[in-house]
Structure formats: structure tokens, C-alpha cells
Structure 1
Amino acid sequence: MEEKTKKPIILIIDIDDDIGNVTGRSLIFGKDEVMKAAIDFAEKRPEDSDTNAIFAGLNLYENLKATSNDPEIAIVGGHATNNMLAQILIKDRVKQLLEKIGNKDVEFYLVSDGTDELLVAEVLRELAPIAGMRRVIVEQHLGVEGSYFLLARYIRKAIDDPKYSKYFLGIPGILIALFGILSVFGYIFLALKIILAVLGVFLILKGFNVEDRAYSLLTGFAKYLRETSHFQIAGIGILGVTILASVLAGYYSAISKENLIIFSGSIIANSIPILLAGFTLYIVVSRIFYKVTKSNLNILKETASIAIIISLAFAFAQLGVTLENYGLKVGIITGSEIINLFIGSGFLLYSVAGAGVAALIELADYLYFRRLKREEK
């Protein structure tokens, strides 16, 4: 049986959406439309390398048309400033393209003018196989005068284009202004330290792509808040407050302690129980209250979780108090004494008791639903 040939789709990837900004369309489909866009873009931005990428895509289209099964061609734009958002938009627009074509048995040929666009291949692999990728490099021969002209054009682009100006002008401008202000008041060395710290943080953020990752996390969290119930939002708010309270309680209870034993005991006795109380309230508000409002009284699993958390809160509180009292008597502690403190404080007893209660609740939940299933049969 002869294997069915996949339909080739040539995607001209414009990750910063320069073509879309000029033509007003970020998804252009069909040879005629792509040709019109190429001419329009070349007239308005003749120096842009995206022009070469479009014509390279058209050249590939003609080659595939002569050798394969009815290819298609499209220009797909992303976003001007945010690389992560650009990849998301490109994926969504390619999905729209596939719906318009109506043929799911396809393969992609990617054409671009840089390395960033080829990263989109990892995103598009989820939609269809990548049959080939082509990076278009413009061949140029520049003399001294031409080199100065090209350098001047890049400098002008770094100043006028918001995508680049924030790095070439914005960040250096902040550092220079900070140095000047602090120098006026005589803090030259402090200014140098701050500038080095800010520059180091900036390099770390860009080097590990923290900016795009943070944007993705924040947009995902915002979407979650829009779609979730108000009980979940209230639970998250309570948990956030208790985490802050836990940190503050640990800090203010530990800053004046005399030795490491008292310090550790104070942290364990104050911070951890408050944090565990926050998780308990989160489960009660976001899970139990939500289920009750939906007339769902199956809350045994949540009850089991609460039993474990409460037992751990008591266990840590007792352990912390025991360590504090022991630290007031001695300045050092040995390994065997730590074991005795764990046992003598009741930490293990509370922990095991909580786990036992949770296990009994889980068993009751299992037996109850097993009986319900038998009755249904």
C-alpha cells in the first residue's frame, strides 16, 4: 500500500511581526496574497531582511510545486517585543491556518531571516512534523563607506525602535542617572556598587530568559484567577497572608536569640505552625466551602489532609518549645541529644497520630465509595 503524501505548507516566520506592522495583517495565506505582501513590504522597508525571507519562501514554493503535492504558503507574524508571547501567537495563528486549509495531514517548511524564528520550530512540532528549515542570510559586499552607512543604520534602529532602544538607551540611561544623582551627594563608591548590582541582575534575567518565563507564569496565573471560583481566590489570599505572617514571626522571634539552638527552636515553634495553619485555612476555604456550595459533601480527603497538617503543626510547636528550653540550659548540642529531643518533645507521637487519623479517614472514604458502587450494581 502506497503511503499517502503529506501536504507541504511553507511558513515564513516573522517573529517580531515587522511584516504585520507594515501590511496590517499578521497571517497572510496563499501565493497571490504573499506576493502582494512581499511587494508592499519591499516598497516600504527595502532594507529589511524579512523581504529576502519572503522571496526565499516563494522560491521554495515554486520548487515544491514542481516536485510535490500542491503546496501552500503563508506569512505568520508574532509580537514586536515579547519573544514568549510571539511564540504563543505564532502557534495560535498556525492553528487558524490549519483550520482554514482543512487538511490535517500536513508538514511544515519553515523559512526565516534569523535564529530566533527557528526556535518556533519546537512550538510548531506539536501541530505537524517539521520537514525542513531554511535560514536566509543576505550576501553583501561593503566597502569602508558602506560599513559606516550600515553601522549608522543599526545605531538609528537602536535609538528609534522600541524593541532595541530600551536596552541600548533605557538601561544605560537609568544607570548613568543613578550614578550622577548619588555622586552629587558624595556616594560615588555606593553608586558603583549599585550599578554593578543592577547590571548583574539585568544580565541574569536576560541570560536565563526570566522575563519571558515570568510573563508566562503571570499570564497563566491571571487566567487561573479569572476562571477559578471566588473561594479559590480567598484561599490563595489567606495563604499569602499566613506565609508573610510566618516569615515575620520567625524573624522577630529569632533576632534576639542567644545561640543556634534557641534560634532554631524559635523558628520551628513560631513560623512553621503559622504556615501550616495557613494551609489548613486554604483547604477549608478553597476546597471544603466550594464543595459544600455545590452540594458535594464528599470532603473526607480534605479532612484527612487537615488532620495531618494540624498534627504536624502541634508536633513542630512542641519540638520548637523543647529546643528553646533546652537551649537556655546548654550552649551546644550533640547528635544523640537531638534524637532524644525529637522523641521527648512528642514530635514523633503527634506526627504518627496525625498520619494514623488521616489513614482511618482515607479508609472510611474508600469503604464508603466501595459500598456505593456495590449498591449501584
Structure 2
Amino acid sequence: MSQMSNKVEKDVNGSTSNKLLVICVDRDNDVGEKAGITTPVIGRDACIEAAQRLALEDPEDADSNSIFSAIKTYEDLISKGYQVEVVTIAGVKDRGVQADEKILDETKQALEKFSANGAVIVSDGEDDESVIPVIQNVLPVVSVQRVVMKVSRSVEYSYAVFGKYLKMIAYDSKYSKFFLGVPGILLLIGGIASALELTTQIVAVLVSILGAAFLIRAFDIDRVWSSWSKPTPMGFIRIFTMVTGVLLILSSVPAGIQSVDPELIESDTELIGKITDKVIIGQFIAGSLPILWIGMGAIFAGTLLSNWIGGIPRQISDILRIIVLGALYPTVYQFTNIMIYNEDSFSLIPPLLGGLAATLVSATLLFKKYRKHKDQEMVSD
């Protein structure tokens, strides 16, 4: 028996669990995306078929080896007399909260078929192991087994692997647009600037381009935009409401400026005094507030509508976002009255309490409706 099997057996013997569920975790759902397999995959034979199909679709994917390792762990524990079942569960391609929710749901489905009291987690890396706390919510984890591929340590193999990654950077658009595209743009602009003797001015441009590229990649702006721009009803709705909302938010600035009394702007007061004058600030906010709120509401409503059409279960947070936006309007409006007309600051309390009450009541009703819907789904299942 291998050292991994000995470690698992030692962990199991040190626990009080006698019915074990060997769980192979695929958080980014390669088994579904590449092999088209619906998870959870429960049982030895079903897992073997899933691993074979994934290996045929992508022989270099480590998840197929993780599934085989889970099956090997299952057989070793069976031979020791334990009651064991093996299952492969998966998240979603983009990982994140949705992946963890799906993994939790599939773990519960597996427990309905096999009522285990302990889990052995098999994964191929730290990303898959990050869901261990999620699984521990429904099942104690008694052992964790990481699958590490055995590869040749020769210099030739190292060069081959390095060459493979260089080829990916050069020909795979997912990597080349950042690792080659951004430096290429910087070098091209730098070369043109040197030829035109504009080296000093171009430094700011190069730094700005590099900073923008880092921000886009760091916050996944390119992926968000690609998901919004997909030719689906949800994508078109999000694009329309986002553009509309942004235009409305931008148009709230001139609307606010037009609301300011011209006599206050044309006075002899210094610029700093005008900017900090509370009456001017209050009039500007009061003028821009309706259009600004409509623009933000358009963006929130577009998100709600696209999620509702796509069947994504986020309606509660989307509806609450709109309700909070509406509940805050009277408070912000009253704040502008205090700035302009010197009203008592305590006049903020009634709209603030009213908005808080509306938010709490709405949240309570929505969560009750959500739980009732969930209970009905569980009964129907």
C-alpha cells in the first residue's frame, strides 16, 4: 500500500467514523465543461467512466487522476472492512461562491444516497481543498489526500515543459493578449515616441496603459465584459441597462450644476469658497439626485431582470438593492434641505427611520418567501 493510503488509513483509524464518503473535488468543473458529465457522480463504476471520459477529452488534465486516486482510496478502505462510497462532485467554471454552493448541494445529494458520518477528501491542489470548510458544514472531514503527478525530473523534460508554456503564451489567446499584447503595445508606443523625440511625454502614457492593463486583469473586467456582451437575452439586457445607467449618472452632473443659483456662482467669492459653500453643495445634490438615483436604479433593475430571465438565484439581493436605493432617497433629499435652508439636523431622523423600517420589513418578507420556496423544493425532491 502507498504512503498516501497509509496516511488515509491512519487518519480514519484515529476518528470515530465507520461509514466513509470518499469525495473527489473538482471546483472548476473540468469534468462537466470538458467531458459533459453531470455531477455528482456516485459509485465506483460511474466514477471510473467519468475519469475515462475526462482523460480521453484532455489527457493532460489532473482531475482524471484525482478521480482514479479517489477510486483507489475507496478500494483500499473497502478491503479494510469499512463501509465506503466514492463520489465526484464539481463546482462551476468561474469558481467563487457559486462553485461552493454547488459543491455543498452535491454533497447533500450524495449523503441522501449514502448516509456517511465521515469524509475523505481527494483533490489535486489547494484550490479544490479550499472547499473543505464548506463540506465540513454537513459532514466531518477525517482525512485529506492531495494527488501529485509523478513526472520525469530530467533536464530534457524540464525544457519540454518550459517550451510548452512558452507555446501557450505565444499561441493561446487567453494568455498571449496579456503577456504579449500589453508589452507589445508598450514597446510600439515607446519606439514611435523615441523616433519622434517625445520620450519624456510618453512615459506617462506607458505607465497609464500598464496600470490600466493590471487593473483590468486584477478585477476581471475583461471577463465581466465578455459575459455581459454574450449574444443572449441576459447579456443584451445588462449592456442596455448598464449603458443607460452610466449615461444617466453622468447627466446628473450638468443637471446638478443647472440647479445651482447663478447669483451664487457669479459672486465675488473665491473658487474654494464657492466649492465649499453648503448652499451650493445642497443645490447641486438636490438637482442631480433624481437623475442619479434613476441611473443607479436602471443598473440594479437590469441586473435583477437578467438574473431572473437566466434563472440565477440572486433575486433577493437584487430586489433588496433596489429597495435600499429607494429607501435612501428621502434621507438624502432631506439632507439637501438642511444644506440649503438650514433646517434642523434632527429632521433627518424620520426619513432615516422610515427607510430603515422599509428595508427591514422587505428583507424579512423576502427571506421568508425564499425559505418557503426552498422548503417546497426540498419536499418536491
Alignment counterpart, residue 127 of structure 2, candidates 73, 91, 116: 116
Instruction: Quote the offset at 1:11 in angstroms.
Output: 2.1
**1:358-377 counterparts in 2 under 5 A?**
none
For residues 31-62 of structure 1, give each alpha carbon's deviation from its aligned partner in whole angstroms, at most 9, with x where no partner exists.
11222333444456444433432332222222
Q: Quick one: which amino acid aligns to residue 110 of structure 1?
A: I
Cα distance between partner residues in 2 of 1:63 and 1:278: 67
**Is the contact made by 2:23 and 2:87 (CA closer than 8 Å) also made in structure 1?**
yes
What is the CA–CA distance in structure 2 between the aligned matches of 1:306 and 1:21, rounded to whole Å? 44
Partner Cα separation in structure 1 for residue 182 and residue 329 of structure 2: 49
Letter in 2 for 1:312: F
What secondary structure is seen at the aligned counterpart in 1 of 2:345?
Answer: helix
Q: Does 1:210 align with 2:219?
A: yes
| Matches of 2:352 and 2:68, distance apart in 1 | 67
From 341, 349, 352, the equivalent of 2:346 is 352
SS of match in other structure, 1:314: helix
User: Match for residue 272 of structure 2?
Assistant: 260
Instruction: Please tell me whether the aligned partners of residues 248 and 294 of structure 2 are also in contact (alpha carbons under 8 angstroms).
Output: no
1:249-296 Cα offsets, whole Å, 9 max, x none, are 4699799972422221165243232355568989xx99xxxxxxxxxx
Q: Give the letter for the 1:49 counterpart.
A: A
Deviations for 1:173-209, whole angstroms, at most 9, x for unmatched residues?
4444554566666544444433323333444565xx5
Unaligned stretches of 5+ in structure 2? Answer: 1-15, 229-233, 301-324, 357-381
One-letter code aligned to 1:211: D
- TM-score of the pair, normalised by structure 2: 0.57
The answer for the alignment partner of 2:112 in structure 1 is 102
- Alpha-carbon contact 2:24-2:66 (below 8 Å) kept: no
Provide closer, same or farther for how the CA distance between residues 177 and 119 of structure 1 changes in structure 2, counting only shifts above 3 A.
farther
What residue number does 1:74 align with? 88
- What is the SS of the residue equivalent to 1:245? helix
* 1:59 and 2:59 correspond: no
- Structure 2 Cα separation of the partners of residues 43 and 116 of structure 1: 24
Please tell me whether the aligned partners of residues 277 and 313 of structure 1 are also in contact (alpha carbons under 8 angstroms). no
Counterpart residue number, 1:25: 37
Give 5+ residue unaligned stretches, structure 1: 220-224, 227-232, 287-301, 319-346, 363-377
TM-score, structure 1 length as denominator?
A: 0.58
- 8 Å Cα contact 2:283/2:336 also seen in 1: no
- Any idea what the Cα deviations from partners look like across 1:17-41, whole Å, max 9, x if unmatched? 1x44543325343211222333444
For the aligned residues, what is the CA RMSD? Answer: 5.1
- Asked if 1 retains the 8 angstrom alpha-carbon contact of 2:21 and 2:84, the reply is yes
Higher Cα Rg, which structure: 1
Contact residue 26 and residue 128 of structure 2 kept, 8 A: yes
* Cα contact 2:27–2:91 (8 A) shared by 1: yes
Aligned to 1:151: 162
Q: Hey, what does 2:207 align to over in structure 1?
A: 196
Matched, 1:34 2:41: no
